[in-house]
Structure 1
Protein backbone atom coordinates (compact mmCIF):
# COMPACT_ATOMS: atom_id res chain seq x y z
CA UNK A 1 0.00 0.00 0.00
CA UNK A 2 1.63 3.27 -1.03
CA UNK A 3 1.92 6.07 1.51
CA UNK A 4 -0.10 9.23 0.96
CA UNK A 5 2.73 11.24 -0.62
CA UNK A 6 3.62 8.42 -3.02
CA UNK A 7 -0.07 8.02 -3.90
CA UNK A 8 -0.33 11.73 -4.72
CA UNK A 9 2.84 11.59 -6.80
CA UNK A 10 1.44 8.67 -8.81
CA UNK A 11 -1.89 10.44 -9.32
CA UNK A 12 -0.12 13.65 -10.32
CA UNK A 13 1.98 11.78 -12.87
CA UNK A 14 -1.13 10.30 -14.46
CA UNK A 15 -3.03 13.61 -14.44
CA UNK A 16 -0.14 15.33 -16.20
CA UNK A 17 -0.11 12.61 -18.85
CA UNK A 18 -3.86 13.01 -19.40
CA UNK A 19 -3.53 16.78 -19.56
CA UNK A 20 -0.52 16.80 -21.89
CA UNK A 21 -2.44 15.65 -24.92
CA UNK A 22 -5.02 13.47 -26.54
CA UNK A 23 -4.24 10.21 -24.81
CA UNK A 24 -6.34 7.19 -24.11
CA UNK A 25 -6.94 7.67 -20.41
CA UNK A 26 -7.71 4.00 -19.76
CA UNK A 27 -4.57 2.87 -21.60
CA UNK A 28 -2.45 5.43 -19.77
CA UNK A 29 -3.81 4.27 -16.43
CA UNK A 30 -2.95 0.66 -17.23
CA UNK A 31 0.49 1.06 -18.74
CA UNK A 32 2.38 4.25 -18.00
CA UNK A 33 3.61 4.30 -14.42
CA UNK A 34 7.16 5.49 -14.05
CA UNK A 35 9.30 2.81 -12.42
CA UNK A 36 10.85 5.30 -10.01
CA UNK A 37 7.44 6.30 -8.67
CA UNK A 38 6.11 2.80 -8.32
CA UNK A 39 5.17 0.51 -11.14
CA UNK A 40 2.15 -1.59 -10.36
CA UNK A 41 0.35 -4.41 -12.10
CA UNK A 42 -2.67 -4.08 -9.86
CA UNK A 43 -5.42 -2.77 -12.20
CA UNK A 44 -7.59 -1.45 -9.37
CA UNK A 45 -4.85 0.40 -7.50
CA UNK A 46 -5.74 3.43 -5.41
CA UNK A 47 -3.66 5.78 -7.56
CA UNK A 48 -5.35 4.66 -10.76
CA UNK A 49 -8.81 4.98 -9.25
CA UNK A 50 -8.11 8.40 -7.79
CA UNK A 51 -6.51 9.68 -11.01
CA UNK A 52 -9.57 8.59 -12.97
CA UNK A 53 -11.91 10.29 -10.48
CA UNK A 54 -9.96 13.55 -10.52
CA UNK A 55 -9.79 13.54 -14.31
CA UNK A 56 -13.51 12.78 -14.64
CA UNK A 57 -14.12 15.81 -12.41
CA UNK A 58 -11.54 18.16 -13.97
CA UNK A 59 -13.93 20.27 -16.07
CA UNK A 60 -16.14 21.04 -13.07
CA UNK A 61 -13.03 21.50 -10.95
CA UNK A 62 -11.52 23.90 -13.46
CA UNK A 63 -14.68 26.04 -13.36
CA UNK A 64 -14.46 26.04 -9.56
CA UNK A 65 -10.77 27.07 -9.61
CA UNK A 66 -11.14 29.72 -12.35
CA UNK A 67 -12.51 32.60 -10.19
CA UNK A 68 -9.54 32.25 -7.84
CA UNK A 69 -6.94 32.61 -10.59
CA UNK A 70 -8.07 35.60 -12.69
CA UNK A 71 -4.51 36.70 -13.46
CA UNK A 72 -3.42 33.15 -14.28
CA UNK A 73 -6.11 31.31 -16.26
CA UNK A 74 -5.66 27.55 -16.32
CA UNK A 75 -4.31 27.50 -19.87
CA UNK A 76 -1.46 29.81 -18.77
CA UNK A 77 -0.55 27.86 -15.63
CA UNK A 78 2.25 25.33 -15.72
CA UNK A 79 0.81 21.88 -16.39
CA UNK A 80 2.08 20.58 -13.06
CA UNK A 81 0.51 23.46 -11.09
CA UNK A 82 -2.94 23.10 -12.57
CA UNK A 83 -2.93 19.36 -11.91
CA UNK A 84 -1.77 19.86 -8.33
CA UNK A 85 -4.70 22.29 -7.94
CA UNK A 86 -7.10 19.79 -9.50
CA UNK A 87 -5.99 16.99 -7.20
CA UNK A 88 -6.05 19.06 -4.01
CA UNK A 89 -9.39 20.66 -4.89
CA UNK A 90 -10.85 17.20 -5.49
CA UNK A 91 -9.53 15.96 -2.15
CA UNK A 92 -11.04 18.97 -0.35
CA UNK A 93 -14.43 19.00 -2.10
CA UNK A 94 -14.94 15.24 -1.95
CA UNK A 95 -14.12 15.21 1.76
CA UNK A 96 -11.56 12.45 1.31
CA UNK A 97 -8.78 14.49 2.96
CA UNK A 98 -8.94 17.21 5.62
CA UNK A 99 -8.52 20.54 3.79
CA UNK A 100 -5.40 21.62 5.69
CA UNK A 101 -3.70 18.30 4.91
CA UNK A 102 -4.67 18.51 1.21
CA UNK A 103 -3.36 22.08 1.00
CA UNK A 104 -0.09 21.26 2.78
CA UNK A 105 0.51 18.22 0.57
CA UNK A 106 -0.23 20.26 -2.57
CA UNK A 107 2.20 22.98 -1.49
CA UNK A 108 4.86 20.34 -0.85
CA UNK A 109 4.31 18.76 -4.28
CA UNK A 110 4.58 22.19 -5.90
CA UNK A 111 7.83 22.94 -4.07
CA UNK A 112 9.30 19.60 -5.20
CA UNK A 113 8.06 19.39 -8.79
CA UNK A 114 7.35 22.92 -10.01
CA UNK A 115 8.80 26.42 -10.11
CA UNK A 116 10.16 28.48 -7.25
CA UNK A 117 6.96 30.55 -7.00
CA UNK A 118 4.51 27.69 -7.50
CA UNK A 119 4.18 26.65 -3.88
CA UNK A 120 3.01 30.17 -2.92
CA UNK A 121 0.61 30.27 -5.87
CA UNK A 122 -0.85 26.84 -5.04
CA UNK A 123 -1.15 27.75 -1.36
CA UNK A 124 -2.96 31.01 -2.13
CA UNK A 125 -5.43 29.46 -4.56
CA UNK A 126 -6.28 26.50 -2.35
CA UNK A 127 -6.56 28.68 0.75
CA UNK A 128 -9.02 30.94 -1.10
CA UNK A 129 -11.04 27.91 -2.22
CA UNK A 130 -11.04 26.54 1.33
CA UNK A 131 -12.23 29.84 2.84
CA UNK A 132 -14.77 30.62 0.11
CA UNK A 133 -18.28 30.72 1.52
CA UNK A 134 -20.05 29.95 -1.76
CA UNK A 135 -21.17 26.37 -2.23
CA UNK A 136 -18.68 24.45 -4.31
CA UNK A 137 -19.70 22.34 -7.29
CA UNK A 138 -20.31 18.69 -6.47
CA UNK A 139 -17.75 16.07 -7.30
CA UNK A 140 -18.61 14.07 -10.40
CA UNK A 141 -19.59 10.48 -9.71
CA UNK A 142 -17.57 7.96 -11.64
CA UNK A 143 -18.99 5.06 -13.59
CA UNK A 144 -18.49 2.75 -10.61
CA UNK A 145 -20.85 4.92 -8.54
CA UNK A 146 -18.10 6.14 -6.22
CA UNK A 147 -17.13 9.75 -5.58
Structure 2
Protein backbone atom coordinates (compact mmCIF):
# COMPACT_ATOMS: atom_id res chain seq x y z
CA UNK A 1 0.00 0.00 0.00
CA UNK A 2 1.17 3.53 -0.74
CA UNK A 3 -0.20 6.95 0.19
CA UNK A 4 -0.45 9.50 -2.60
CA UNK A 5 -1.67 13.07 -3.01
CA UNK A 6 -4.87 14.05 -4.81
CA UNK A 7 -5.16 13.15 -8.46
CA UNK A 8 -8.21 13.80 -10.61
CA UNK A 9 -8.41 10.03 -11.20
CA UNK A 10 -9.33 9.53 -7.54
CA UNK A 11 -11.87 12.35 -7.18
CA UNK A 12 -14.89 10.03 -7.50
CA UNK A 13 -13.42 7.68 -4.88
CA UNK A 14 -13.04 10.63 -2.48
CA UNK A 15 -16.74 11.42 -2.89
CA UNK A 16 -17.98 7.80 -2.84
CA UNK A 17 -15.96 6.63 0.16
CA UNK A 18 -17.00 9.58 2.28
CA UNK A 19 -20.69 9.43 1.32
CA UNK A 20 -20.77 5.70 2.11
CA UNK A 21 -19.10 6.28 5.49
CA UNK A 22 -21.46 9.12 6.41
CA UNK A 23 -24.55 7.15 5.37
CA UNK A 24 -23.34 4.13 7.35
CA UNK A 25 -22.57 5.95 10.59
CA UNK A 26 -24.56 9.20 10.44
CA UNK A 27 -26.17 11.11 7.60
CA UNK A 28 -24.91 13.39 4.87
CA UNK A 29 -25.14 17.08 5.76
CA UNK A 30 -25.41 19.74 3.06
CA UNK A 31 -21.93 20.99 4.03
CA UNK A 32 -20.52 17.49 3.44
CA UNK A 33 -22.08 17.11 0.02
CA UNK A 34 -20.86 20.56 -1.05
CA UNK A 35 -17.26 19.93 0.04
CA UNK A 36 -17.13 16.37 -1.31
CA UNK A 37 -18.58 17.43 -4.67
CA UNK A 38 -16.00 20.14 -5.15
CA UNK A 39 -12.79 19.30 -3.25
CA UNK A 40 -10.76 21.62 -5.45
CA UNK A 41 -12.79 24.65 -4.36
CA UNK A 42 -13.13 23.81 -0.67
CA UNK A 43 -9.95 21.89 0.14
CA UNK A 44 -7.19 22.10 -2.46
CA UNK A 45 -7.39 25.66 -3.82
CA UNK A 46 -7.38 27.27 -0.34
CA UNK A 47 -4.16 25.38 0.42
CA UNK A 48 -5.40 22.05 1.78
CA UNK A 49 -4.46 18.51 0.87
CA UNK A 50 -6.17 15.22 0.08
CA UNK A 51 -4.38 11.90 0.42
CA UNK A 52 -5.30 8.41 -0.74
CA UNK A 53 -4.22 4.97 0.44
CA UNK A 54 -3.77 3.02 -2.80
CA UNK A 55 -3.07 -0.63 -3.47
CA UNK A 56 -2.91 -1.99 -7.03
CA UNK A 57 -4.61 1.20 -8.29
CA UNK A 58 -7.56 0.64 -5.91
CA UNK A 59 -8.36 3.43 -3.45
CA UNK A 60 -8.60 1.80 -0.02
CA UNK A 61 -9.04 4.99 1.96
CA UNK A 62 -8.78 8.75 1.93
CA UNK A 63 -8.29 11.74 4.21
CA UNK A 64 -8.19 15.51 3.80
CA UNK A 65 -6.44 18.37 5.53
CA UNK A 66 -8.52 21.55 5.25
CA UNK A 67 -6.54 24.73 5.80
CA UNK A 68 -8.01 27.01 8.47
CA UNK A 69 -4.96 29.27 8.59
CA UNK A 70 -1.22 28.91 7.96
CA UNK A 71 -0.70 27.26 11.32
CA UNK A 72 -3.86 25.11 11.61
CA UNK A 73 -5.44 22.41 9.44
CA UNK A 74 -8.52 20.28 10.03
CA UNK A 75 -8.08 16.52 9.69
CA UNK A 76 -11.33 15.62 7.95
CA UNK A 77 -13.10 13.54 5.34
CA UNK A 78 -11.40 10.30 6.37
CA UNK A 79 -13.02 7.14 5.07
CA UNK A 80 -11.95 3.58 4.30
CA UNK A 81 -13.56 1.01 2.02
CA UNK A 82 -15.98 -1.13 4.06
CA UNK A 83 -14.14 -4.37 3.23
CA UNK A 84 -10.81 -2.81 4.27
CA UNK A 85 -11.87 -1.50 7.69
CA UNK A 86 -10.05 -2.99 10.65
CA UNK A 87 -6.76 -3.22 8.71
CA UNK A 88 -5.32 -0.01 10.22
CA UNK A 89 -5.52 1.90 6.94
CA UNK A 90 -7.13 4.83 8.77
CA UNK A 91 -4.29 4.81 11.30
CA UNK A 92 -1.73 4.85 8.51
CA UNK A 93 -3.51 7.83 6.97
CA UNK A 94 -3.57 9.63 10.35
CA UNK A 95 0.15 8.99 10.86
CA UNK A 96 0.87 10.24 7.34
CA UNK A 97 -1.04 13.46 8.08
CA UNK A 98 0.77 13.91 11.40
CA UNK A 99 4.16 13.45 9.74
CA UNK A 100 3.14 15.85 6.96
CA UNK A 101 1.98 18.44 9.52
CA UNK A 102 5.26 18.15 11.45
CA UNK A 103 7.30 18.58 8.26
CA UNK A 104 5.18 21.52 7.11
CA UNK A 105 4.95 23.00 10.63
CA UNK A 106 1.25 23.27 11.42
CA UNK A 107 -1.15 21.98 14.09
CA UNK A 108 -4.07 19.63 13.48
CA UNK A 109 -7.60 19.52 14.83
CA UNK A 110 -10.67 17.43 14.10
CA UNK A 111 -14.36 17.15 14.83
CA UNK A 112 -15.94 13.80 15.62
CA UNK A 113 -18.71 12.18 17.60
CA UNK A 114 -18.28 10.22 20.82
CA UNK A 115 -20.38 7.32 19.49
CA UNK A 116 -17.30 6.52 17.39
CA UNK A 117 -15.51 5.11 20.43
CA UNK A 118 -12.78 3.32 18.45
CA UNK A 119 -11.98 6.45 16.45
CA UNK A 120 -11.80 8.61 19.59
CA UNK A 121 -9.51 6.02 21.20
CA UNK A 122 -7.24 6.10 18.14
CA UNK A 123 -7.14 9.90 18.04
CA UNK A 124 -6.12 9.94 21.71
CA UNK A 125 -3.49 7.27 21.00
CA UNK A 126 -1.95 9.63 18.43
CA UNK A 127 -1.90 12.51 20.92
CA UNK A 128 -5.08 14.44 20.11
CA UNK A 129 -6.62 16.12 23.15
CA UNK A 130 -10.21 17.21 23.66
CA UNK A 131 -11.14 20.89 23.58
CA UNK A 132 -14.59 22.53 23.69
CA UNK A 133 -16.63 22.47 20.48
CA UNK A 134 -17.42 26.03 19.44
CA UNK A 135 -21.13 26.90 19.07
CA UNK A 136 -20.75 27.57 15.32
CA UNK A 137 -19.13 24.21 14.50
CA UNK A 138 -19.57 23.42 10.79
CA UNK A 139 -20.94 19.94 11.56
CA UNK A 140 -24.28 19.29 13.26
CA UNK A 141 -23.26 15.71 14.12
CA UNK A 142 -20.02 16.59 15.93
CA UNK A 143 -20.02 16.61 19.71
CA UNK A 144 -16.26 16.48 20.26
CA UNK A 145 -13.36 18.54 19.00
CA UNK A 146 -9.76 17.47 19.40
CA UNK A 147 -6.45 19.19 18.70
CA UNK A 148 -2.90 17.98 18.14
CA UNK A 149 -0.32 20.72 18.67
CA UNK A 150 2.69 19.97 16.44
CA UNK A 151 4.12 23.36 15.46
CA UNK A 152 7.63 23.98 16.64
With the shorter chain as reference, the TM-score category is 0.3 to 0.5
Which structure dedicates a bigger proportion of its chain to helix?
1
Which structure dedicates a bigger proportion of its chain to strand?
2
TM-score, normalization: structure 1? 0.34
Q: Kindly indicate whether structure 1 or structure 2 has the higher relative contact order, using CA contacts under 8 Å at least 6 residues apart.
A: 1
TM-score, normalization: structure 2? 0.33
